[in-house]
């Protein structure tokens, strides 16, 4: 129907306008505070490091604006140029209406979109990140990573997509309930298997070496009631100088993974504070709440796709056949971002609240806020974090509170 394409164009323009406005506001805020580090964070960065953090913020913001415009143009071309209709005719024609040809259509379109994004990924790593000393990857390693991701998408994504599409023919109108159960069950399984089977394809994981640091961290884990099966170190330094700590798995399969860059940048007490923060996410119930929220959202998404696939006006508005499930799935994926962009502030608010709770847990576990504050300041320096994001930009994009907000909460 004519109204739906017009609505989509309006939504694409509105989202792009909001993205460009937010980047512009963030640049203005960065320039306004570029003279010196904020008084509340005196000592967090020296003058030279703070100047580089402002430059890094500005460069990333300009890059983000160009990328947003490019992605909006790609989306409009993909939806209205006839490319999707041509792909569907060619691939579905191999086996009209078959689940595997529908899965092939979805996979081919995702590969096309991924390929169109590669120039920006390359520029981000080998120009922007390289300029500020973060990139440690080589062109060969980067290309191998892209190839591995593509192969994993084919090996895992194609069979899973085929199963979901085949369910419509096997179980009838309630296929979407079974499809949700299949996908969600697979995701739970991957939470356990990913660090064992997938992550080692890209990075080397090794147990935290014996010594005082390992002993102190294990004592901390025991004291906080977190008996992780393993605390591991990942060789993140072969790709980037950025540092991080991640929590993977759940139940008896949970584990903490520390980047080797993090180990090099922080002292013993600071590492304990970071570990306590990660334990805090578990002890505060953030992981099961996140899983429950994702289950609810995915259940709703499957119900919506089932309804859209039956709607006589949805697929045909973009030149695709009415009532076909694979095109409905693809259009849902392509158009979903036009809605979820406006819902991002709610998700990021929840994430920031969780970070405050995990910080508070770390403070209680360590018995002082000083190690956590010191760790946050070091990580901000090492990662050239933006200390003064614009409030609206922070509302939409920031999953973590600012350094000033976290320090204020910890010292309160």
Model confidence pLDDT, tens digit, residues 177-207: 999 999 999 999 988 888 888 888 998 888 8
CB of 217 closer than 8 Å to CB of 205: no
Domain ranges of the chain: 3-201+285-411, 205-269
- Give residue 250's pLDDT: 64
Is the pLDDT reported for residue 236 higher than 60? yes
pLDDT at 248 over 80: no
Q: What pLDDT was estimated at residue 1?
A: 56
Mean pLDDT in residue range 140-165: 94
Residue 74 has pLDDT above 80, yes or no: yes
Average pLDDT over residues 285-292: 91
> Averaged over 124-146, what is the pLDDT?
94
Among 41, 49, 38, residue whose Cα is nearest residue 374: 41
Range 232-260 average pLDDT: 80
CATH topology of domain 205-269: Zincin-like (3.30.2010)
pTM comes to 0.91
Concatenated DSSP letters for 266-335?
S-HHHHHHHHHHHHHHHHTTHHHHHHHHHHHHHHHHHHHHHHHHH-TTTGGGGT--TT-HHHHHHHHHHH
Q: Averaged over 54-77, what is the pLDDT?
A: 97
What integer best gives the mean pLDDT of the chain? Answer: 91
Catalytically annotated residues? 278, 359
The answer, yes or no, to whether residue 254 has pLDDT greater than 80, is no
- Check pLDDT > 90 for residue 245: no
Residue 356, Cβ density class (10 Å: 0-12 exposed, 13-18 middle, ≥19 buried): middle
pLDDT at 223 exceeding the cut of 90 = no
Q: Provide the pLDDT for residue 69.
A: 97
Q: What is the mean pLDDT of residues 15-40?
A: 92
Task: Please check whether residue 230 is in contact with residue 286, taking contact to mean a CB–CB distance below 8 angstroms.
Answer: no
Mean pLDDT check: name the lowest of 18-22, 40-44, 57-61: 40-44
| Lowest mean pLDDT, pick from 5-9, 72-76, 111-115, 215-219 | 215-219
pLDDT digits (tens, 9 = 90+) for 296-316: 999 999 999 999 999 999 999
């Amino acid at each position: 129907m004519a109204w739906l394409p017009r609505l989509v164009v309006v939504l694409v323009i509105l989202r792009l306008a909001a993205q460009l406005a937010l980047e512009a506001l963030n640049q203005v805020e960065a320039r306004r505070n570029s003279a010196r580090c904020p008084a509340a964070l005196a000592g967090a960065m020296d003058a030279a490091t703070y100047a580089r953090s402002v430059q890094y913020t500005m460069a990333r913001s300009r890059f983000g604006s160009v990328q947003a415009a490019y992605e909006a143009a790609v989306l409009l071309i993909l939806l209205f140029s006839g490319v999707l209709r041509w792909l569907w005719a060619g691939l579905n024609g191999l086996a009209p209406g078959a689940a595997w040809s529908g899965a092939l259509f979805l996979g081919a379109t995702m590969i096309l979109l991924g390929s169109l994004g590669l120039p920006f990924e390359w520029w981000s790593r080998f120009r922007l990140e390289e300029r500020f000393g973060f990139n440690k990857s080589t062109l060969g390693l980067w290309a191998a990573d892209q190839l591995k991701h593509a192969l994993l998408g084919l090996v895992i994504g194609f069979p899973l997509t085929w199963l979901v599409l085949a369910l419509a023919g096997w179980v009838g109108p309630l296929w979407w309930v079974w499809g949700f159960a299949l996908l969600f069950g697979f995701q739970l399984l991957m939470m356990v298997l990913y660090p064992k089977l997938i992550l080692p394809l890209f990075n080397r994981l090794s147990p935290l070496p014996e010594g005082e640091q390992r002993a102190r961290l294990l004592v901390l884990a025991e004291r906080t009631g977190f008996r992780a099966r393993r605390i591991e170190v990942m060789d993140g330094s072969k790709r980037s100088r950025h540092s991080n700590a991640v929590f993977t798995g759940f139940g008896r399969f949970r584990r903490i993974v520390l980047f080797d860059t993090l180990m090099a940048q922080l002292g013993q007490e600071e590492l304990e504070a970071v570990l306590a923060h990660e334990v805090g996410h578990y002890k505060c119930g953030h992981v099961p709440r996140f899983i429950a929220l994702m289950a609810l959202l995915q259940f709703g998404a499957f119900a919506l796709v089932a309804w859209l696939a039956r709607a006589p006006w949805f697929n045909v508005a973009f030149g695709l056949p009415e009532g076909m499930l694979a095109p409905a799935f693809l259009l849902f994926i392509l158009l979903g971002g036009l809605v979820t962009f406006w819902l991002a502030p709610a998700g990021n608010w929840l994430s920031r609240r969780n970070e405050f709770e995990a910080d508070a847990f770390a403070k209680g576990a360590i018995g002082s806020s000083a190690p956590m504050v010191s760790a946050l300041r070091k990580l901000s320096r090492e990662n050239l974090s933006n200390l003064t994001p614009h409030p609206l930009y922070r509302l939409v994009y920031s999953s973590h509170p600012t350094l000033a907000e976290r320090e204020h909460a910890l010292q309160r």
